[in-house]
């Protein structure tokens, strides 16, 4: 029987109570963003807090245990992270219609156009899987994909359609929130954040809501390959700005990782991180 423990949660400082216990230790240090070939040599160092999983003592942590482009320490629960098979299971309109079994699941969430389909394609290496969720009529549903016959990847509707008419905007509050609040088998939400744009209020609001409701979260920064932004900042600078805002509001900084569906950056590392969350949940 799976241990249904919310084992990592954001703990907002204000105005929410900080009673949430975390099974993870956090280690504060100044850690430079990875020196990517495409980043300027002056990539700024950012203040971050390592995500130390169960089975690892904070004082044992060294650089070789931290996944590149992330704050995530890999511990003994990390295991085989390969994806050997994936199949579409069903689309559900409500949490109570979702598959009813004990398999752990990860929900993928983000603003429309954040790169969700591209990331799912990159993770499962199967184009038709993410296309399934993009089919007319399915974009507003909870789409379950079974991976290795043992865990689910769940594609949730994107939020914040900037250019959509008011009527077409998703009612995120009544629909997706029901899923988060009622889904016992949810291991973590992968909250996708576009690193090619400055921090967006809607993403911060979403992170706040998840934190307030003790939903475990991992920030997955997308489009980290995008260096030529006509105006504005580089992905590493946008990520630093995002982290700074999150740090002001939260006592515990969630795990975060940089990805690119174009270069494959972060793909294997994210899967490894998911394996340790899953194996711990599953024990
Ligand atoms: P979704 O609406 O969240 O499913 O986003 P999509 O996966 O459809 O991607 C939206 C746009 O961003 C498309 O034009 C993609 O080609 C582009 N995109 C997605 N991921 C990346 C990435 O990692 N790097 C770059 N440069 N572009 C990306």
Q: Between these two residues, 54 and 21, which has the higher pLDDT value? A: 54
> What pLDDT is stored for residue 264 in this prediction?
96
The whole-number average pLDDT for the span 102-117 is: 94
Instruction: Please give the C-alpha separations between residue 213 and each of 223, 240, 272, in angstroms, as whole numbers.
Output: 28, 25, 26
- Please report the domains of the chain, with CATH numbers, ordered by start residue: 58-282 (3.40.50.300)
Residue 195 has pLDDT above 90, yes or no: yes
Q: Any residues with Cβ below 6 Å from ligand 1, and which?
A: 110, 112-118, 158, 222-223, 225-226, 260-262
Gap from CA of 113 to ligand 1 centroid (Å): 6
User: DSSP state, 252?
Assistant: S
> What pLDDT is stored for residue 26 in this prediction?
42
Beta-carbon contacts of residue 25 (< 8 Å; ≥ 6 apart): 52, 56, 57, 58
pLDDT in tens, 208-251: 889 888 999 999 999 999 876 567 889 999 999 999 898 877 77
Spatial separation of the C-alpha atoms in residues 60 and 224, rounded to whole Å = 30
Gap from CA of 222 to ligand 1 centroid (Å): 8
Atom of ligand 1 nearest to the CA of 116: 3
Question: DSSP alpha helices (H): ranges in 59-200?
Answer: 116-124, 127-134, 176-182
Gap from CA of 259 to ligand 1 centroid (Å): 11
Report the chain's terminal Cα–Cα distance, integer Å. 8
Nearest to 61 by CA among 23, 29, 22: 29
Gap from CA of 121 to ligand 1 centroid (Å): 11
Q: Calculate the average pLDDT of the chain.
A: 79
Confidence class of residue 110 from pLDDT cuts 50, 70 and 90?
Answer: very high
Collapse the DSSP code of 12 into the 3-class scheme (helix H, G, I; strand E, B; otherwise coil) and give the result.
Answer: strand
Q: What does the longest C-alpha to C-alpha distance in the chain come to?
A: 53
């Amino acid at each position: 029987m799976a241990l249904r423990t919310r084992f990592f949660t954001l703990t907002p400082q204000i105005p929410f109570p900080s009673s949430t216990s975390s099974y993870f230790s956090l280690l504060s240090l100044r850690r430079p963003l990875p020196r990517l070939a495409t980043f300027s040599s002056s990539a700024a160092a950012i203040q971050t807090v390592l995500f130390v999983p169960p089975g690892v003592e904070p004082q044992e942590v060294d650089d070789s245990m931290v996944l590149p482009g992330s704050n995530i320490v890999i511990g003994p629960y990390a295991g085989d992270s390969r994806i050997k098979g994936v199949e579409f299971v069903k689309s559900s309109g409500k949490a109570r219609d979702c598959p009813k079994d004990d398999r752990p699941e990860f929900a993928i969430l983000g603003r429309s156009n954040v790169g969700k389909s591209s990331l799912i394609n990159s993770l499962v290496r199967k184009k038709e899987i993410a296309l399934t969720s993009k089919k007319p009529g399915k974009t507003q549903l909870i789409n379950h994909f079974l991976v290795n016959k043992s865990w689910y990847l769940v594609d949730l509707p994107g939020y914040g359609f900037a250019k959509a008419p008011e009527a077409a905007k998703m009612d995120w509050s009544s629909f997706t929130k029901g899923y988060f609040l009622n889904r016992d088998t949810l291991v973590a939400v992968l909250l996708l954040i576009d690193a090619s744009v400055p921090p967006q209020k809607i993403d911060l609001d979403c992170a706040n809501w998840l934190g307030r409701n003790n939903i475990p979260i991992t920030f997955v920064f997308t489009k980290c390959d995008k260096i030529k932004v006509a105006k504005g900042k580089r992905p590493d600078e946008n990520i630093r700005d995002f982290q700074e805002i999150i740090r002001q509001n939260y006592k515990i900084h969630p795990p975060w990782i940089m990805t690119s569906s174009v270069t494959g950056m972060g793909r294997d590392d994210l899967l490894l991180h998911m394996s340790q969350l899953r194996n711990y949940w599953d024990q």
